[in-house]
Amino acid sequence: MDSIGSYFTAIAQPKGLGNLSRNFGWSELIFLLSAVRWTLLLSMIAFAGGAVAGLLVALLRTAPIAALRWIAIGFIQVFQGTPVLMQLFVCFYGLPVLLHVEVDPWPAVTIAFMLYSGAFLGEIWRGTIQAIPRSQWEAARSLSLSYLQQLRLVILPQAVRIAIPPTVGFLVQLIKGTSIASIIGVVELTRAGQLMTNVTFEPMLIYPVVALLYFALCWPLSLMSRYLEQHIDTNLSTKWSL
Amino acid sequence: MNYVFHFGIVWDHWRDLADGAWLTVRLSAMAMVLGLGLSICTAYAKLSRVAPLRWLIGSYVEIIRNTPFLVQIFIIYFSLPALGLRLEANEAALVAMVVNFGAYGTEILRAGIEAVPKGQIEAARSLGLTRPQTFRFVILYPAVKVVFPALASQFILMMLGSSIVSAISAVELTAVTNSLQSTTFRAFEFYFVTTAIYLALALVFRAVLGGLYWFVFHRDRPA
C-alpha cells in the first residue's frame, strides 16, 4: 500500500530501521479517523449529563434560598478550582479503593466529565438566568405564577436564547478536554494517536494529524459560537422596556 | 463502606508533594510572564498593516484554541525531536504552556484593545507618537486593565491545566502524586489531598493576582 509517511520517514529515521515498524499509511489514517467517533461519543455523553447537572446547579445557584445557593457555589468552586485530570484520577483510582468496586475507564471518565461540565455549564447558565431583567420576574410573579412556573414559562425560554453561544463555546472546551481520557487508557482520538505512534515511530506525522482532526471538530463550533454571539439579539433590557 | 483512611501516609511524603507543588507554581508563574509577553507581542503584530502577519497571528490563535493542550504537548515533546529540536520534559512543558497561554492571551488582549476609545489613538497619532509608542503608552495600559480579570481566570485555568504535563514525565504535583500513590496503594488519600492542594493554589493565585491588580492599577499614583 502506498505510504504517505515514507517521505517523512526518510528524513526522520536512519536508513534500514524502517523495516522494523509500520509506515503511516491509509489504514493508520483510517484508524485515527474512526477513533474520532469515541471522542465525539464521550463529548456527547459528558455534555448530556453535564447539561442535566448544569441546569440543576444553575437553578440552585439562583434559588431564592441562601443554603441552596451556597451548595451550588461550593460545587462550582471545587470543580472549577481543581484540574479535570485530578477529578478523573479521583474517579478512576480513588473511588475504587474507597468503595471496593472495580471502575472501568469509561464510567470513570464519563462521571468525571459530567461533573466537570456540570460545574462549567451551571456557571454559564447562571449568568444567563441573571441576565434576564428583574422586571420579568416581577411581572411573572404579579400574574401569580409560582416560582417554578416563573422559571419555566417566563425566565428559561428567554435565558435559553442567550445561553446558546457560550454553551457552544464550552462544547469546544469539552471536546478538547476529553483528550485527557487517554491518560487513563480510554481509546479516543489522542490515545489512538499514541497507539499509532508506538507502531509507526512517526510522531512527527501523527500528532499533527491528530491535532488537525481535533481542529476539524472544534473550529466549526468556535465559528458558530462567534456567529451566534453576533447574531442572536441579546439586548433584553431595551427590547422589553416600555 | 468500611474503608480505613490513612491520611498519615500522605503527611509522611509532604516534602515530595511540596517539591511537586513548587514546580507547578514555578512552571505556571514563568509561563504566565513569558506567555503574557508573547501575547502582548502578538496582539501588537495583529494591529500591523501587513496583512500576512495578521493572518499568521490569527491562525496561530485559532489553531491553539481549537486543539487540545495534551496534543500540543505531545507535538512539542515527541514530534519536534524529529526536526532536531529536543527538549527536556520540563522545558517542553514550559514551552507548551507559554504557546498555549499566548494564544488565549492574544485573544483576550484583542478585546481589551478594542475597548480603547478610537479618539485616544487618533489623538496620540496626531501628537506625533509613532505606532509602537502609541501602543506602548496609550493602548497597552488601559487594555490590560480592562481585561485583567479575564487574564487572571485564564492563568488559573492554565495553572490547573499544567497537571496535564505529568503525561510527559515533568515531575510537577500531579506526577509526584501519581508515583506516590502507585508505591503506597493509597490512591484516594493522595488524589484527595493533591486536589485540595490545587484548590488552595487556585485560591492563592487568585488572591495574588487580585493584589497585583490593585498594586498596578488602583493605588494612588503620585502625579
- Nearest Cα to Cα of residue B69 among B38, B101, B26: B101
Note whether B174 contacts A78, CB cutoff 8 Å: no
pLDDT of residue A7 exceeding 50 = no
Res A234: pLDDT: 59
Interface probe with B: pick from A40, A75, A85, most Cβ of B within 10 Å: A85
pLDDT of residue B69 exceeding 50 = yes
Q: State pTM to two decimals.
A: 0.87
| Minimal Cβ distance to A211: which of B1, B67, B78 | B67
pLDDT of residue A207 exceeding 60 = yes
Residue A204 within any structural domain of the chain: yes
Residue B169 within any structural domain of the chain: yes
The three-class DSSP label of residue B129 is: coil
Residue B222 within any structural domain of the chain: no
pLDDT of residue A43 exceeding 90 = yes
Residue B3 within any structural domain of the chain: no
Mean pLDDT for A113-122 is 95
Mean pLDDT for A17-43 is 83
Burial of B122 (0-12, 13-18, 19+ CB in 10 A): exposed
Res A152: pLDDT: 92
Res A19: pLDDT: 55
d(CA B193, CA B199): 10
Mean pLDDT for A109-129 is 95
Split at pLDDT 50, 70, 90, the class of B181 is confident
Res A200: pLDDT: 87
Of A10-24, A202-216, B18-32, B117-131, minimum mean pLDDT range:
A10-24
pLDDT of residue B221 exceeding 80 = no
- Tell me what percent of the residues of chain A surpass a pLDDT of 70: 87
What tens digit of pLDDT does each residue of A87-108 get?
999 999 888 888 888 888 999 9
- For residue B59, the number of C-alpha atoms closer than 13 Å in the C-beta half-sphere is 6
List phi, psi (to 5°) of A3.
Answer: -110, 130
Residue B210 within any structural domain of the chain: yes
What's chain A look like in SS3? CCECCHHHHHHHCCCCCHHHCCCCEHHHHHHHHHHHHHHHHHHHHHHHHHHHHHHHHHHHHCCCCHHHHHHHHHHHHHHHCCCHHHHHHHHHHHHHHHHCCCCCHHHHHHHHHHHHHHHHHHHHHHHHHHHCCHHHHHHHHHCCCCHHHHHHHHHHHHHHHHHHHHHHHHHHHHHHHHHHHHHHCCCCHHHHHHHHHHHHCCHHHHHHHHHHHHHHHHHHHHHHHHHHHHHCCCCHHHHHCC
Split at pLDDT 50, 70, 90, the class of A2 is very low
Distance from CA of B105 to the nearest CA of A (A): 16
| Minimal Cβ distance to A179: which of B71, B156, B203 | B71
Note whether A211 contacts B187, CB cutoff 8 Å: no
Which positions in chain B have a beta carbon within 8 angstroms of at least one beta carbon in chain A?
1, 3, 62-63, 65-72, 74-75, 78-79, 82-83, 156, 160-164, 166-167, 174, 177-178, 181, 185-188, 191-192, 194-195, 198-199, 202-203
The sign of the dihedral angle between the CA atoms of B31, B21, A177, A113 is: negative
Residue B175 within any structural domain of the chain: yes
Terminal CA-to-CA distance of chain B, rounded, Å? 66
pLDDT of residue B106 exceeding 60 = yes
Burial of B185 (0-12, 13-18, 19+ CB in 10 A): exposed
Residue B177 within any structural domain of the chain: yes
A147: contact with B, CB 8 A cutoff: no
The three-class DSSP label of residue B66 is: coil
Cβ B171 vs Cβ B165: under 8 Å: no
The three-class DSSP label of residue B172 is: coil
- Nearest Cα to Cα of residue A212 among B104, B82, B66: B66
| Minimal Cβ distance to A82: which of B3, B74, B160 | B160
Residue that has been written with the C-alpha cell 501628537 in this structure: B127
Specify the CATH number for the domain of residue B130: 1.10.3720.10
What are B143's three cell numbers?
A: 487594555
Split at pLDDT 50, 70, 90, the class of B183 is confident
Res B40: pLDDT: 95
Specify the CATH number for the domain of residue A147: 1.10.3720.10
Res A97: pLDDT: 82
**Count of structural domains within chain B:** 1
Res B223: pLDDT: 46
- Nearest Cα to Cα of residue B25 among B166, B204, B193: B204
Residue that has been written with the C-alpha cell 468556535 in this structure: A222
Contacts of B199 in chain A (CB under 8 A): 77-78, 81-82
Residue A103 within any structural domain of the chain: yes
Contacts of A208 in chain B (CB under 8 A): 75, 79
Mean pLDDT for A190-207 is 91
**Count of structural domains within chain A:** 1
Interface probe with A: pick from B66, B77, B100, most Cβ of A within 10 Å: B66
Residue A16 within any structural domain of the chain: no
A95 or B197, which is more confident: B197
A12: contact with B, CB 8 A cutoff: yes
d(CA A28, CA A206): 9
Cβ A88 vs Cβ A180: under 8 Å: yes
Size of interface A-B (CB pairs under 8 A): 131
Split at pLDDT 50, 70, 90, the class of A235 is low
Instruction: For residue B219, give the DSSP letter.
Output: S
Which domain, by its residues, includes A174?
26-240
pLDDT of residue B10 exceeding 60 = yes
Note whether A176 contacts B174, CB cutoff 8 Å: no
A9 or A200, which is more confident: A200
ipTM for this model: 0.87
Residue A19 within any structural domain of the chain: no
Mean pLDDT for B61-87 is 93
A66: contact with B, CB 8 A cutoff: no
Residue type, A147: Y
Residue A100 within any structural domain of the chain: yes
Residue B202 within any structural domain of the chain: yes
Residue B1 within any structural domain of the chain: no
Mean pLDDT for B169-188 is 87
Residue A86 within any structural domain of the chain: yes
Note whether A85 contacts B78, CB cutoff 8 Å: no
A87: contact with B, CB 8 A cutoff: yes
Res B220: pLDDT: 57
| C-alpha triplet A85, A89, A94: angle, nearest 5° | 155
Cβ neighbours of residue B76 closer than 8 Å, sequence gap 6 or more: B87, B92, B95, B96, B99
Which domain, by its residues, includes B29?
8-215
Mean pLDDT for B27-42 is 95
Kindly identify which residue of chain B lies nearest to residue A213, measuring between CA atoms: B67
- Tell me what percent of the residues of chain B surpass a pLDDT of 90: 71
Distance from CA of A202 to the nearest CA of B (A): 8
pLDDT of residue B180 exceeding 60 = yes
List phi, psi (to 5°) of A25.
Answer: -115, -160
